[in-house]
Amino acid sequence: MKRLALIAALAAALSGCSTWNSWFGDDKNKPAALEALSGPDTGRVAWSAKGDGIGFPLSIATPGDRFVVAGSDGGVRALAAADGRELWRGEAGAKLLAGVGSDGRFAAVVNRDNELVVLDGGRLAWKKALPTPVIAAPLVAGERVFALTLDRQVLAFDALDGRKIWELKRPGEPLTLAKAGVLTAYKDTLVVGQGARLAGIDPLRGELRWEASVATSRGTNEVERLADLVGPAVRQGEVICARAFQAAVGCVNAERGSALWSRITGGTNGIGADDQVVVAGDASDRLSAWRLSNGDLAWSGDQFQHRKLSEPVLLGKQVLVGDFEGYVHLLDRDTGKTRSRLPTDGSPVVAVTRLNDTVLVATRSGGLFAIQAE
């Protein structure tokens, strides 16, 4: 636990230094000025809503035809993707530490007492204390709730009554990153980030099926060798791609459990992808796109350097990414050139998530903006 606290403090200190330099006069880290754009808008805000402020690593669940979102104060809501209409609302009973996972019926969050809280249609179903801290949003699938702890322990609970079904503890790295990790699914396999590797796990028994490396740890000490996978990961068919913290972006074949390619690049946020490219920003917010099929570089652009970008999302033939001033930038997927931008509420964009033809953007102040391509 001391090691966990150490890396959490280190991450916070590094983040604080970056913020100070970018906002208070360090010219080297000064945010890039916005480009002058003259073309037509290539996206529009279809609807917007106001929720609680967000002060934790947010993920937005997208079960079926709805977005499920959570705010720092513990409010959880399901909104219709078509028009933003509220379908149900619930309360976790305490401020949150991790975002929401949902299958449409059940929604799971983790509060600051480190309790896994599960709602059934907005009503409290059960809650259970977890053994170590959790930052990654839980995953709800197959009437089970899966949680990934900071020390990379994986736990499975029955969604109906909270009964613990299994737990998986594996030898881990000396240090782990206090940042939301990878917890997703491929067919009947639970896919989890374990250090710099993706692991495929049997969701019924908690047994390891396969393991594939996304990056190779480098450095002369434990901090420099830290290369934990950062969520969200993205899936395209049999391929799952993810970022290893400050190390690389890479893809694995989840059907075979084998690594496909890995490209060395810095950066701390999740990535975006479609059936053509994988897009990610580096530590200075330079965006790069690699071919999904082989990892060849398609393009790179530095027009948003030091603008504290969110993870990118791909919609149609555009890349959407938010920044610290609340702008959502829309780029051409094939060239990386900026096509248009949309304002939100002026506070930093903290999450962008796609469901079919709609991208939901969440801001630090609690604004929710549903964007569709023109």
**Could you give the residue ranges of the DSSP H alpha helices within the chain?**
2-23
Those residues whose C-beta lies under 8 Å from the C-beta of residue 212, and which sit 6 or more positions away, are 197, 198, 252, 253, 257, 258, 259
- 174 found inside a domain: no
- 344 found inside a domain: yes
- 354 found inside a domain: yes
Q: Which of 45-54, 278-287, 292-301, 351-360 has the lowest mean pLDDT?
A: 45-54
- Spatial strand order of the sheet with 318-322 comes to 313-315, 318-322, 328-332, 338-342
Total domains in the fold of the chain: 1
**9 — pLDDT class (breaks 50, 70, 90):** very low
Count the neighbouring beta carbons within 10 Å of the beta carbon of residue 27: 6
- Return the residue matching tokens 């977005």: 67
- 287 found inside a domain: yes
Tokens read off for 120: 């059934």
**28 — pLDDT class (breaks 50, 70, 90):** confident
Phi, psi angle pair for 319, to nearest 5°? -110, 125
Residue 5 pLDDT: 42
Residue 175 pLDDT: 63
**Residue 34 per-residue DSSP state:** P
Residue 270 pLDDT: 93
Residue 352 pLDDT: 94
Q: 3-state DSSP call for residue 13?
A: helix
- 114 found inside a domain: no
d(CA 106, CA 63): 10
Q: 3-state DSSP call for residue 64?
A: coil
Tokens read off for 55: 């002060």
Looking at the chain, the whole-number percentage of residues with pLDDT higher than 90 is 72
Tokens read off for 235: 């899936």
**84 — pLDDT class (breaks 50, 70, 90):** very high
Contact between 249 and 241 under an 8 Å Cβ cutoff? The reply is: yes
Q: Which of 148-152, 224-228, 250-254, 305-309 has the lowest mean pLDDT?
A: 224-228
- 37 found inside a domain: yes
Looking at the chain, the whole-number percentage of residues with pLDDT higher than 70 is 89
CATH number of domain containing 358: 2.130.10.10
- Return the residue matching tokens 């033939």: 317
**Residue 28 per-residue DSSP state:** G
Contact between 359 and 342 under an 8 Å Cβ cutoff? The reply is: no
d(CA 119, CA 69): 13
Q: 3-state DSSP call for residue 270?
A: coil
**24 — pLDDT class (breaks 50, 70, 90):** very low
**Residue 262 per-residue DSSP state:** E
* Cα 28 to Cα 32, 33, 268, 299, 306, distances in angstroms: 10, 13, 19, 24, 9
Tokens read off for 3: 């090691």
**19 — pLDDT class (breaks 50, 70, 90):** very low
Q: Which domain holds residue 45?
A: 31-55+268-374
What mean pLDDT do residues 30-56 have? 90
The more confident residue out of 131 and 340 is 340
d(CA 220, CA 258): 28
d(CA 81, CA 46): 10
Burial degree of 237 (CB within 10 A; 0-12, 13-18, 19+):
exposed
Instruction: Answer whether residue 8 shows pLDDT above 70.
Output: no
Burial degree of 9 (CB within 10 A; 0-12, 13-18, 19+):
exposed
Residue 29 pLDDT: 86
**Residue 29 per-residue DSSP state:** G
- Considering only CA atoms, which of 292, 361, 366 is closest in space to residue 56? 366
Instruction: Answer whether residue 78 shows pLDDT above 50.
Output: yes
Highest mean pLDDT among 43-47, 134-138, 192-196: 43-47
- 279 found inside a domain: yes
d(CA 341, CA 319): 11
- 64 found inside a domain: no
d(CA 134, CA 311): 21
Instruction: Answer whether residue 140 shows pLDDT above 90.
Output: yes
- Considering only CA atoms, which of 211, 231, 203 is closest in space to residue 145? 203
